[in-house]
Amino acid sequence: MKLIHRNIDKDGKGEVTLMPDDPEDIWHAYNLISEGDSVKGSTIRKVQTETATGSSQSNRIRTTLTVCVVSTDFDTQACVLRLKGRNIAENPYVKMGAYHTLDLEPNRKFTLGKAHWDSVFLERVEMACDPTQNADLAAVVMQEGLAHVCLVTSSMTLVRAKIENTVPRKRKGNAAQHEKGLHRFYENVMQAILRHVNFDVVKCVLVASPGFVRDQFFEFMMQQALKTDNKQLLENKNKFLLLHSSSGFKHSLREVLSDPSVQSKLADTKAAGEVKVLDSFYSLLQNEPARAYYGLKHVEVAHQAQAVETLLITDTLFRSKDLTERKRCVALVDGVREYGGTVKIFSSLHPSGEQLDQLTGVAAILRYPMPEIEEEDHADDSD
């Protein structure tokens, strides 16, 4: 994402002009744009014109519109953000107050205006405009007949291909059909990797499965690469890392990312850091529950005592339509940082973020045990 222009006053009111470069930037835009914001961008509008003879003619005209956002819709597959809003600036083709949908796409700049840019919004802009934030990782989670090819960035896990093939069972004395089905499946997975993984950018490709499926697939892929002289695969052979997973479904990616061998290889990526923190939280919750709490109310009590060492929070809460809840979350993030705590904002499009969302979306690791929080809760329940 490129920051073209920024004009924010001391009170936090102002606007920024941004140019998304890739699909991940559209995800950042989705997290930045809230209801009530103004967005100025280029769009195509269908305009009806009447000729001198009285017949009407319809033309598609490109124009620049400024809309007050009413609703947002993010398409994860196409990586397009659709903004529905009312026109709030004079335009020769669109009446004031008329509804229009703006599509935000890569390489199309837009200007975002807010009544108040809080610290979380400003941090999101800085993160989106920092090229070092991208995690260059691809992952294939598979089992016999099912595979998911994913691209893992610092903000989201994108499923680029889902491969489903029927593999016949092994029969006594006749395993030919099974082998044939398996090879057809492996070929499809290999083609998906070649189509969706850019080896110039990706530093590591994780291949995970239960049993020996990953080993058999990797062997098949390298044999095919030698036969067809596929230099792309042969030159990047050392980028593949074979690991165990419980299944070929997307949710198995979380256990793959928490593997110690992956952690060391991906030490600089945000996704691996989030998984590590979440694992520490679960470990404390099991062994030392007085130092691990979740839920906004409990975490706020711990923060008032300046006890929060690490705050875990999902970006879902910052997209809340309830402004009071959003302000509480922003105040909590700012307060924890002020007292020297660490804040980890999880993406709801990562498996780790999905898991944290199931735990209310906010959790905290404390500096010291606070059993009184639990006791207060039990006292309230008994009352």
Please state the φ and ψ torsions of residue 136, each to the nearest 5 degrees: -90, 80
Same domain, 282 and 369: yes
Mean pLDDT, residues 198-209 taken together: 86
CA distance 55 to 60: 17
Same domain, 253 and 158: yes
Same domain, 66 and 121: yes
Cβ atoms 273, 345 nearer than 8 A? no
Can you tell me which residue has the tokens 């697939």? Answer: 217
Nearest CA to 33 out of 45, 21, 20, 22 is that of 20
> Which range has the top average pLDDT, 44-48, 322-326, 335-339?
335-339
Q: Which domain holds residue 208?
A: 137-265
Same domain, 30 and 100: yes
Residue 311 pLDDT greater than 60, yes or no: yes
Same domain, 297 and 179: no
Same domain, 6 and 124: yes
Can you tell me which residue has the tokens 């409990």? Answer: 298
Q: Which residues are within 8 A (CB) of 179 and not within 5 positions of it... i.e. 6 or more apart?
A: none
Same domain, 211 and 276: no
pLDDT band at 221 (very low <50, low <70, confident <90, very high): very high
Same domain, 256 and 298: no
Report the mean per-residue pLDDT for the chain.
87
Residue 377, pLDDT score: 65
CA end-to-end span of the chain: 53
Q: What is the amino acid identity at position 82?
A: R
* pLDDT tens-digit map of 84-142: 999 999 888 888 999 999 999 888 899 999 999 988 999 889 878 865 455 468 899 99
Total number of domains constituting the chain: 3
Alpha helices for the chain (secondary structure H) = 23-32, 119-128, 176-196, 213-228, 231-235, 253-257, 260-265, 270-287, 296-304, 323-338, 351-358, 371-382
pTM as predicted: 0.62
Same domain, 355 and 279: yes
Tokens linked to 208 = 């995970």
* pLDDT tens-digit map of 164-195: 998 888 766 667 888 889 999 999 999 999 99
> DSSP secondary-structure letter at 211?
T
Tokens linked to 190 = 């290999």
Query: Of 245, 265, 285, at which residue does a domain stop?
Result: 265
* pLDDT tens-digit map of 272-297: 678 889 999 999 999 999 999 999 99
Query: Of 211, 234, 265, at which residue does a domain stop?
Result: 265
Same domain, 244 and 334: no
Nearest CA to 130 out of 33, 268, 25 is that of 25
Tokens linked to 126 = 């800085």
Nearest CA to 144 out of 193, 212, 205, 207 is that of 212
- CATH number of the structural domain spanning residue 188: 3.30.420.60
* Exposure b/e, 219-243, CB count within 10 A at least 16 = b: ebbbeebeeeeeeebeebeebbbeb
Q: Which of 123-132, 147-156, 284-293, 305-314 has the lowest mean pLDDT?
A: 123-132
CA distance 182 to 168: 8
CA distance 278 to 274: 6
Q: What is the amino acid identity at position 81?
A: L
- CATH number of the structural domain spanning residue 48: 2.30.30.870
Which neighbouring-strand residues pair with 74? 81
* pLDDT tens-digit map of 40-81: 999 888 877 777 677 777 788 889 999 999 999 988 777 789
CA distance 143 to 288: 36
Mean pLDDT, residues 345-363 taken together: 88
Same domain, 230 and 120: no
Same domain, 110 and 181: no
Query: Of 213, 230, 265, at which residue does a domain stop?
Result: 265
Alpha-carbon distances of 90 from 44, 66, 67, 103, rounded to whole Å: 16, 9, 11, 20
CA distance 23 to 308: 34
